[in-house]
C-alpha cells in the first residue's frame, strides 16, 4: 500500500475534506419517503474500476441514497456468475457478459455506459522495431493479450485478421498468471495488447513501442468501424431493473456525477482520492493513464449509444466468441441512463 511519502509529489493539488463534501452535496438527496437502498456492486481490482472507487471514496453512493457494498472479484466471469445468481445487483465490467448471457437465455442488461473507446494499445518490444513495422510482421512471433475468449484477445484477433493473419499465425501466450509488464520485460513475448498501468511503465522505460493505438481516431474507425465502442459498462439483471428500478436510477446518477468529476478534476487530485488503492510503484503510470486514455475514453455521462454498443459487440461476433448479435433493445435497459445517437 502507498505511504504518505508516495503522495507528496501530488500534494499541491490534493483533495481536501471540504472538496469531498462539496462533491457529495452536488448530488440530489433522495426524499425521506424513498429511504436508503442497499445494493451490492461487483468490480475488478485495478485502474479499470477507477470510476467505482471514486464514488465510493468521495461518498457519492451514500449521497445518492445507496448503501453500496463494493465486492472485488479477481475474475470477470465469476463476477458475472454472481450477478446471475443474485448475489450482487450490479457489475462494472465489459458488455461481453450481456451478449454471452443473453444468448443463453439469461436476461442481463447494460444499464449505464462507462467507456466510449477501446483504450488499449498493441505494443511491440523496442528491440524488434526494425523487424516489426506492421501487424503482418507479427507472423511467427510470440504474443499475449489475456486469456483466449476475453475482450483483449478478441481485439487482437481482429487486428490480425484485418491484416491477413489469423491467431494460428502467431504463438499465443496466455497472460493468466504473469502481467503484461513481466512478459515483455522477461522477453517471454514479442508483442502484447496492453493498457494502463503496464503500458505506460513499459513506454517510460523504453521497453516497447506502440504498433497500434486504438485511441487514434483513424485506427479506431478502421478496426472497430465506428468512432466509439462501449467497452465497459454497468450491468444488471432484469430482476433488478424490474424490482429495484430506483436503485438503477440512483446508480446512473452516481455514474453521471463521477464522470463530471473526472473531467473537471486534475488527474493529480483524482489520484489523491483513489491512489491508496493501487501499488505505489504504479502511481506514475496510473497518473499518465488518467491524463491520456481515461480522459479520452471516459464518457461525459452514462448515456448509451446504439452505435457504440454494436461496435463493441461486433468484435466478439467477428471473432466467433458469440454466434449471433444481441439487439440493442434486448441487451440494453436505458430508461435512466438515456439513449444517444
pLDDT digit string, tens, across residues 238-264 = 999 999 999 999 999 999 999 999 999
Q: What is the pLDDT of residues 68-95, one digit of tens each?
A: 999 999 889 999 999 999 999 999 999 9
Q: What cell was used for 25?
A: 452535496
- Shared domain for 18 and 67, answered yes or no, is yes
Domain endpoint, select from 213, 244, 274: 213
Domain that includes residue 252, residue range: 4-117+229-340
- Shared domain for 167 and 243, answered yes or no, is no
Q: Is 316 domain-assigned?
A: yes
| Alpha carbon distance, N-terminus to C-terminus of the chain | 42
Element (H or E) spanning 122, and its range? strand 121-125
Q: What is the pLDDT of residues 171-212, one digit of tens each?
A: 999 866 679 999 999 999 999 999 989 999 999 999 999 999
Q: Is 326 domain-assigned?
A: yes
Q: Is 154 domain-assigned?
A: yes
Q: Which residues contact 194 (CB under 8 A, 6 or more apart)?
A: 120, 121, 123, 180, 184, 202, 208
Q: Is 187 domain-assigned?
A: yes
Q: Is 201 helix (H, G, I), strand (E, B) or coil?
A: helix
Cis previous bond, 300, omega within 30: no
- Shared domain for 263 and 293, answered yes or no, is yes
- Shared domain for 247 and 323, answered yes or no, is yes
**Top-confidence range, 10-24, 76-90, 279-293:** 76-90
Number of domains the chain is built from: 2
Check if the beta carbon of residue 261 is closer than 8 Å to that of residue 58. yes
Domain endpoint, select from 162, 186, 213: 213
Q: Assign residue 51 the CATH number of its domain.
A: 3.40.190.10
Amino acid at each position: 500500500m502507498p505511504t504518505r511519502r508516495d503522495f507528496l509529489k501530488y500534494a499541491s493539488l490534493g483533495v481536501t475534506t471540504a472538496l469531498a463534501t462539496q462533491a457529495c452535496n452536488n448530488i440530489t438527496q433522495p426524499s425521506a419517503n424513498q429511504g436508503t437502498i442497499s445494493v451490492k456492486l461487483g468490480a475488478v481490482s485495478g485502474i479499470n474500476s477507477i470510476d467505482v472507487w471514486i464514488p465510493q471514496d468521495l461518498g457519492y453512493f451514500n449521497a445518492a441514497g445507496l448503501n453500496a457494498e463494493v465486492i472485488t472479484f479477481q475474475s470477470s466471469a465469476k463476477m458475472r456468475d454472481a450477478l446471475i445468481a443474485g448475489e450482487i445487483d450490479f457489475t462494472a465490467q465489459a458488455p461481453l457478459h450481456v451478449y454471452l448471457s443473453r444468448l443463453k437465455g439469461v436476461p442481463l442488461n447494460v444499464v449505464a455506459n462507462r467507456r466510449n473507446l477501446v483504450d488499449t494499445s498493441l505494443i511491440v518490444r523496442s528491440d524488434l522495431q526494425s523487424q516489426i513495422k506492421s501487424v503482418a510482421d507479427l507472423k511467427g512471433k510470440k504474443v499475449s493479450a489475456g486469456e483466449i475468449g476475453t475482450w483483449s484477445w478478441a481485439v487482437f484477433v481482429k487486428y490480425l485478421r484485418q491484416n491477413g493473419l489469423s491467431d494460428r499465425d502467431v504463438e499465443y501466450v496466455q497472460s493468466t498468471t504473469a502481467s503484461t509488464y513481466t512478459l515483455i520485460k522477461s522477453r517471454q513475448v514479442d508483442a502484447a495488447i496492453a493498457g494502463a498501468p503496464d503500458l505506460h511503465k513499459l513506454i517510460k522505460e523504453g521497453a516497447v513501442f506502440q504498433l497500434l493505438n486504438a485511441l487514434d481516431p483513424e485506427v479506431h474507425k478502421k478496426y472497430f468501424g465506428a468512432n466509439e465502442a462501449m467497452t465497459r459498462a454497468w450491468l444488471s439483471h432484469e430482476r433488478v431493473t424490474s424490482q429495484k428500478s430506483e436503485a438503477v436510477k440512483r446508480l446512473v446518477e452516481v455514474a453521471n456525477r463521477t464522470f463530471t468529476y473526472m473531467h473537471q478534476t486534475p488527474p493529480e487530485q483524482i489520484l489523491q482520492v483513489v491512489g491508496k488503492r493501487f501499488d505505489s510503484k504504479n502511481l506514475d503510470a496510473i497518473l499518465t493513464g488518467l491524463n491520456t486514455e481515461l480522459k479520452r475514453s471516459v464518457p461525459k455521462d452514462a448515456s448509451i449509444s446504439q452505435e457504440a454498443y454494436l461496435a463493441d459487440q461486433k468484435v466478439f461476433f467477428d471473432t466467433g466468441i458469440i454466434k449471433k448479435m444481441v439487439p440493442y433493445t434486448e441487451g440494453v435497459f436505458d430508461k435512466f441512463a438515456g439513449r444517444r445517437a
